[in-house]
Amino acid sequence: MSRRPLHLLALAGVALWSAEAHAGKYDLDLTPLGSQSGGTVTPDNQAFRSLSSELGTLVAPKPVDPADSLGISGFAIAADFSINTLSADASYWDLTTDGRADKVAPTMQLYGRKGLWPGLEVGAGATHVFDSRMWTLGGYAKIALHEGFHHLPLGSKDLNMTTISPGVTISHVFGVGKTINLTPYIGYEALLILSRSHVLDATPECDEYPDDYNECPPAGGTSEFVFDQAGTIVRHRPHLGLRFIFSVMR
Query: What local confidence, expressed as pLDDT, does residue 130 receive?
Result: 93
Sequence-distant (6+) residues with CB within 8 A of 92 are 33, 44, 47, 48, 50, 51
Range with the lowest mean pLDDT among 119-123, 142-146, 219-223? 219-223
Distance of alpha carbon 24 from alpha carbon 62, whole angstroms: 23
Query: What local confidence, expressed as pLDDT, does residue 15 receive?
Result: 44
* pLDDT of 150 strictly over 50: no
Query: What local confidence, expressed as pLDDT, does residue 22 receive?
Result: 58
Mean pLDDT, the chain, rounded, equals 80
Query: Where does the pLDDT of residue 155 fall: very low under 50, low under 70, confident under 90, or very high at 90 and above?
Result: low
Distance of alpha carbon 159 from alpha carbon 195, whole angstroms: 7
* CB contact at 8 A, 149 and 185: no
Distance of alpha carbon 181 from alpha carbon 151, whole angstroms: 12
Query: What local confidence, expressed as pLDDT, does residue 107 receive?
Result: 93
